[in-house]
Amino acid sequence: MVMAGKASPTVKYFQRQLGDAERTILLTAGRGDMSAGFLEVLEAYRHFYNLGLRPSTPLECISLVIPQAQDNEAL
C-alpha cells in the first residue's frame, strides 16, 4: 500500500491510492461495495483492538478460530 502522508486526526475526508490487493480486500469485505468494506474493516479492527490487539503487535502472533457453523463464508 502506498501511503501519501500522515492525515490529521481532525480531517473529515482523506484520499489514498489503493493497490489491487487493497481494493480486493475492501470489495471482498463489503461484498462488492468498497465503502461497506471500509466500514467492515474498521469494525473488525475495533473488535480486535478490544480483544487486546495493538498497532505494535506483530500479526504473526495472532490466530483466529472460526466456529464450524460459520466456516462456509471463510475466504
**C-alpha distances out from residue 21 to 2, 17, 27, Å:** 12, 12, 10
> What span, in angstroms and rounded, lies between the C-alpha atoms of 54 and 45?
10
Name the DSSP class of 45. Answer: H
Q: What pLDDT score does 3 carry?
A: 57
pLDDT tens for the 75 residues of the chain, in order: 555 677 788 988 878 899 999 999 999 999 999 999 999 999 999 999 998 899 999 989 888 888 887 555 555
Q: What pLDDT score does 16 carry?
A: 85
Query: Is the whole model's pTM more than 0.75, yes or no?
Result: no
Name the DSSP class of 12. Answer: S
Residue 23 and residue 41 in contact, taking contact as beta carbons nearer than 8 Å: no
